[in-house]
Each structure stands twice: as C-alpha cells, then as structure tokens.
Amino acid sequence: MKAKFWTMASGSYKIDPESLHSFLTENGFYSYKPQNVKTTILVHVENRKVRQVTKKEIREFCWRFIENEYQFSGGEERKQVKLEFHKNKSFFSPDNLQLLPEIEIREIKDTKDMSLLFFNNCILEITKDGVTKKEYDEFEGHVFETDIIDRDLKNVTKDPSQVSGVFKRFLNDISRAETIEGTFHNYQSIISIMGYMLHRFKNPGNAKAVILMDTYKNEKANGGTGKGIICKALDKVRKSAFIDGKFFQSSNRFSFANVDYGTRILVFDDVPQNFDFEKLFPVITEKALVERKYENPYEIPFEDSPKIILSTNYAIMDQGESDKRRKVEFVLSDTFNSKYTPEDKYGHLFFTEWDSDEWDQFYNLMAHAIRLYLKKGITKPKTDTAERKAIMSSTEKVVRFFHANIDFSVKYDKKEFHKRFYKEHPEHMKVEPTTFRHWLKAIADAYGYGFHESHSGDKNFFQITPE
C-alpha cells in the first residue's frame, strides 16, 4: 500500500507536510525548473514520460487516494482525515507545492538538423535525408506526454512520392493556382510551412509566425477555405493551444493561460481586421510568460515556447521591415468555401472518420513535410499577398488605376489625381480626397513603396518611390 500523508498526533489525525511531500514524490510529483528561467513548474513523471500538472490536479490525486484507495482502520480515521483535507487547502498552495523535490529532466529534443515524432509504439527520426523508424530504447531521456501521439504507427513510407491519402489531396486542392507549375509550387510551400511548424527546434535568428489567409474576390474575403483544417492537422501532431483572435488582448496577463510547458503551437484563430501584429513580437522572438488565476506565473524559455500561427479573413498589414521578417503568409485557394466543403468533396469528416490506414498516410505526410523543411527551408508561395492587401485596403479598381498611372519620377497633385480616377470610373463609390489619399498610401505600403507628401502654396502633392 502507498504511504499515507497524515499522522496520528495527540489522539487525532493531522496532515503532515513532510509526509505529504514524501507521498507525492513517491507517486511521481516533482518541481521542475527549466534551464535559463527563474520560475518552477509542477510535473508528474512516470516511465520517462513527463506531464505538467496544476495544484488542482495534485489535490484531486490526493483526494482520490483518500476516497478510493486507502484502507482506513475505521470510520473515525476516515472522517478526521477528510475533515483535515478540506480544512487545510494551504498545503496545496502554489508556494507550498513548489517546495517539492526538484527533478532533473533530460528532455529528448529536436535539433537544428533532426526532428522526432513520438508514437505509442515507436519514434520517427526525421532528417533531410530521410525518415527512420526507431524504438524508445534507442533514446535516453524524458519525453513530455503531450509530445506522444496516442496511436500506433504501422507503416512507414520512405519515399515521399509514395505517400497518398485524403489529406495530401486536400493540400493540393487548397494550393490550386492558374497553372500546374503554380499549383505544385504552392503545394511545396504549404508542406514546407507545416514542416516548419512541426519542427520543435526554434532558431532565435529566424523565428516567424505563419499567417493563413482566405482568397479575396469581389471585394470580400471568401471564408471556409480550409484554414481551420490545417490548424487541426497540426494539433494532431504537436499539442496546440487555441486563442480566439477576435477577443485577444495582449495587455491581459492571463492571455496565455491555456499554454503549458508541452504546448508546441499557439493558434490565433480568426484574427480581426487591423490586428496589431507587433503585439506578438515578444511571443514570437522571446520567452513566453504564462499566468493563470490562483497560480504562480512561470516562464517558458524561447527554445521550448510554442511557434505561432494565425488564421484570418483579412490582410495583416506590414508596419515595417520587422513585420515582414517575422511573417510567412499563405493564401488558400478558393477550391472550398462555406457552400462547398472538404466533406462535400471527399464524402466524410476529416480526422473523426479516418481509419488506421488513413491516419498512417497522414502521419507519413507530416513526417515528410518536416523532412522537406529540414532540406530546403520554407518555400515561399507565389500568391501575390501584396495585391490582396492593397485591394482590401482600398478597392480593386483603385489598385488597377494606381498601377496604370503611377510613375516613380513624377509628383502628382492629390486633387487632380482624385478627379482623374472618377473621370475614368464614374460608377465607383464616391469618397472624399482625404479618404482617397489614405487608399493610395495603403496601396503603397502593401507593395513596399515609399509615399512622400509635399505642398506648394495651396496645392498638395504626393510621389511614389520604389523603396
């Protein structure tokens, strides 16, 4: 029988702090301080598997022991121990639990040139040269439980061209372009992007956020293109935390309360127009600070913090070169929409209605996505995100007029340029010169052009430069 965490003292039963800590340690509960951070987290370790736990989970474990496992000598002992348990919640406070013995965890990590996928029955070792199936006994160290995919992988496909399955067809569909070459390039792009997201190694000099966007036609974004399916697919491989982008506030200290030490991907879902991308810079390039209500805050060092992906119906405008360096943008094709879904085309729900063979194909595809990324890095898509941003910031006709009439060497009178547009497009909705000026600047910003303003007397001018 497990040791108990209470003692008899002066004729009554009392919970003893030292006995409690011994009991918890015997059952695999420890404190853990990651390298290069000052704060500790609580973990449960069993058979080399590590899981971050909360004070609530530890208290519930102790209660289950009282309620279901321990054989009490009589009803009076049970009664007194339960009463003591309810009276002494302070024993399970964050400050007291962080006094648990500290454990050294040697996590089996990805490296710059190698990545691992953990399954119940094996480990896939992935390098730029191939995918190899290995046994757990071939590795020394600990694995976070959240990194283990709760499936047995039966078949490993060495040749990426031999991988098939419905998810590969889906990625081809959302990569569709006007030419076969364009479609293949975009497919290679989304595969490499997913490989980047799934690789657990983080390079501080090249940390990026992935942005998935819908197509933009007829002056509006076409939702339902498959962004959510991609994010769910990543979650099937690496543990993800999801944040509703519409309600995210970087100033809220509990914004990342659902992030754990084993969270590998942080999804900002459906971020709104005019989302301030710069607010995410600390999360993208630095350590993550996690705070939950009634818990001590803790840090996740940069190398172990989650990678970032955003989905949006809009364009996230660049505020400068720092924004551009930190973004990888992919626009999904209009193959699917709210009226024609992947379920309509393939005849089943993704993930929930897959058999074991379909899952094997999916995980082999994800392994080769990582392999492609390790071999070639991120392949940028050929989709013109600049044009998309320009149109969303103004209108398609204004963008076309801009390209047809702008000469980098010429200064333009703002009012005259405004009049020229409406002379050519009298059917276009009327806006004041001030609004039209905002449109022109937004178009210039989208393409990375300079927008310079000047005046002479009562005339105001602008000039576009290729900077």
CATH code where residue 420 lies: 1.10.10.10
Asked which of 383, 400, 430 is the last residue of a domain, the reply is 383
Query: Are 244 and 304 in a shared domain?
Result: yes
328 and 406 belong to one structural domain: no
Please answer whether residues 380 and 208 qualify as being in contact, where contact means their C-beta atoms are separated by less than 8 angstroms: no
Task: Based on the fold, state whether residues 250 and 375 are members of the same structural domain.
Answer: yes
Task: For residue 177, give the CATH number of its domain.
Answer: 3.40.50.300
Task: Tell me, yes or no, whether 340 lies in a domain.
Answer: yes
My answer on whether 414 and 301 are in the same domain is no
Query: Mean pLDDT of successive 10-residue segments in the chain (467 residues)?
Result: 82 90 96 82 94 95 94 89 92 92 95 97 97 96 96 94 95 92 94 98 91 74 85 98 87 86 94 83 85 83 93 75 79 91 95 96 98 96 77 88 95 95 94 94 87 93 91
Q: Please, are residues 56 and 127 in contact by the beta-carbon 8 Å criterion?
A: no
Asked if residue 441 is part of any domain, the answer here is yes
Would residue 109 count as lying in a domain?
no
* Residue where a domain terminates, one of 358, 383, 408: 383
pTM for the model stands at 0.85
Domain-located, residue 253: yes
Domain shared by 378 and 403, yes or no: no
Instruction: Single out the residue of 160, 289, 273 nearest to residue 220, CA to CA.
Output: 273
Whether residues 339 and 419 fall in one domain: no
Residue 428 shares a structural domain with residue 370: no
Task: Decide if 294 is inside a domain.
Answer: yes
Q: How many CA atoms lie less than 13 Å away from 125 in the CB half-sphere?
A: 12
Residue where one domain finishes, among candidates 50, 66, 97: 97
Say if residue 377 is in the same domain as residue 437. Answer: no
Opening angle at CA 340, ends 184 and 186, nearest 5: 15
Q: What is the pLDDT of residue 220?
A: 60
Q: Using alpha carbons only, how large is the chain's radius of gyration in Å?
A: 28
Q: Is residue 103 part of a domain?
A: no
- The one-letter amino acid at 75: G
Range of the domain at 438: 387-465
Q: How far is CA 197 from the centre of its chain?
A: 8
> Which residues, 6 or more positions from 60, have their beta carbon under 8 angstroms from its beta carbon?
none
Contact 280, 319 (CB under 8 A): no
Judge whether 92 lies within some domain: yes
26 closest CA partner among 99, 97, 101: 101
Asked whether residue 348 falls in the same domain as residue 372, the answer is yes
Same domain, 321 and 412: no
C-alpha–C-alpha distance, residues 431 and 84, integer Å: 73
Does residue 108 lie in a domain region? no
| 157, 161, 167, 171 alpha-carbon torsion, rounded to 10° | 150
Which pLDDT value is given to residue 320? Answer: 59
Task: Identify which of 118, 168, 157, 123 has the alpha carbon closest to the alpha carbon of residue 354.
Answer: 168
pLDDT, position 313: 85
Q: How far apart are CA 78 and CA 94, in angstroms?
A: 26
Q: Are residues 303 and 177 in the same domain?
A: yes
Residues 128 and 246 in one domain: yes
- φ and ψ of 258, to 5 deg: -95, 10
Domain total of the chain: 3
Q: Write down the pLDDT at residue 34.
A: 82
